[in-house]
């Protein structure tokens, strides 16, 4: 594994960079590039609600096609499901030899939804954190780790350009790890589905319901199965598995070793393998794109159903008792995505 802690900053400073989108990642990349002295413009729809915000933050805003024509480097930072359409309608004609097309996630390149022409560098810089942390850590003089990959090296220096870009958004302060579009895409999707979103939410809901069905107060179940999870995740984040076990009680540690494998047993591991194979084969990507193209009925149904879950109603009440929370039910510390990042809105 190759890790970069420094870069030739002149590579990206000699380019005009068009950032397409101004959501969670888009706003962070554009502002960090700007503050690093890179010539940057943000590409948005004429009616985008983000235009005024970006302009107020000192950035140049253009229509998407105008920005793509202007930029030497075009960084596409909108949701996966919108990228192909935006690329075909606004970017493709401007991808001429000598330009570079960048991504924050490998989905559309890895699954061949977007096929840039020859002569164009195609790279990825993927910060391993939400956008608000990319911005916050940069403002504090540091940064978050980034992954960098190259799918097409027309210039012979695409990786160096990617690392230079990562440097300008703060990534070299923490380390820029070379990888591939394949590995980033498949591990990212698997992590989301098996652990970070799918696995953790299913585990939280199942454990909450187990306690409530057994007659325990839902408020206690919420604290034990959801609220306190942040404390444990923080320990994982700070020092890994060993540090978490060192930090909790001996009782908790013993319960971890003896009961955890009963929750994540061989049947669960087999399901994880099936999920990974669906990602590797492209089955999940095809399923998700078909879902989106049909209006995302299952996604919207599940989203609405979640609002009626008891754990959500109890949690909303309990969070109202915690004055240290900001009370915003949109969980992104004030950096909630707008139309450029929202999962069901068009760009």
Catalytic residues, which ones? 105
Residue 292: enclosing H or E segment and its boundaries?
helix 283-293
- Cα gap 229→223, rounded to integer Å: 9
Residue 96, sorted as left (phi over 0), alpha (psi -120 to 50) or beta, turns out to be: beta
- DSSP state letters, 113-172: S--PPTT-EEEEEEESS-HHHHHHHHHTT----EEEEEEE-SSS-HHHHHHHHHHHTTGG
Distance CA 147, CA 186 (A): 13
Look up residue 230 and give its two tokens.
């942040």
* Helical axes 131-139 vs 24-35, angle rounded to 10°: 20
What tokens appear for 26 in the block? 């888009």
Cβ atoms of 16 and 41 closer than 8 Å: yes
Q: Closest Cα partner for 322 from 238, 209, 218, 223?
A: 223
């Amino acid at each position: 594994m190759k890790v970069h802690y420094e870069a030739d900053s002149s590579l990206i400073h000699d380019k005009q960079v068009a950032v397409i989108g101004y959501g969670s990642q888009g706003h962070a990349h554009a502002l960090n590039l700007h503050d690093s002295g890179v010539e940057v413009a943000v590409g948005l729809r004429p009616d985008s609600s983000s235009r005024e915000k970006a302009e107020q933050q000192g950035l140049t805003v253009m229509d998407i096609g105008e920005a793509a024509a202007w930029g030497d480097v075009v960084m596409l930072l909108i949701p996966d499901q919108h990228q192909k359409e935006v690329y075909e309608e606004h970017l493709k004609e401007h991808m001429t030899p000598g330009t570079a097309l960048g991504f924050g996630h490998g989905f559309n390149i890895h699954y061949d939804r977007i096929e840039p022409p020859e002569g164009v560098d195609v790279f990825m810089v993927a910060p391993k954190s939400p956008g608000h942390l990319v911005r916050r850590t940069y403002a504090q003089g540091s940064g978050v780790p980034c992954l960098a990959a190259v799918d097409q090296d027309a210039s012979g220096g695409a990786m160096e350009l990617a690392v230079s870009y990562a440097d300008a958004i703060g990534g070299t302060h923490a380390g820029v790890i070379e990888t591939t579009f394949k590995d980033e895409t498949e591990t990212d999707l698997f992590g989301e589905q098996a652990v970070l979103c799918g696995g953790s939410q299913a585990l939280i809901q199942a454990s909450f319901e187990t306690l409530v069905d057994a007659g325990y107060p839902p408020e206690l179940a919420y604290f034990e199965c959801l609220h306190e999870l942040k404390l444990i995740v923080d320990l994982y984040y700070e020092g890994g598995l060993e540090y978490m076990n060192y930090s909790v009680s001996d009782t908790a540690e013993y319960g971890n070793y003896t009961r955890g494998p009963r929750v994540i047993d061989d049947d669960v591991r087999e399901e994880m393998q099936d999920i990974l194979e669906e990602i590797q084969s492209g089955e999940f990507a095809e399923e998700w794109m078909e879902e989106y193209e049909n209006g995302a009925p299952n996604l919207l149904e599940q989203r609405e159903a979640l609002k009626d879950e008891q754990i959500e109603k109890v949690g909303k009440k309990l969070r109202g008792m915690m004055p240290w929370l900001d009370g915003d039910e949109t969980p992104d510390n004030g950096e909630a995505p707008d139309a450029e990042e929202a999962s069901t809105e068009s760009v």
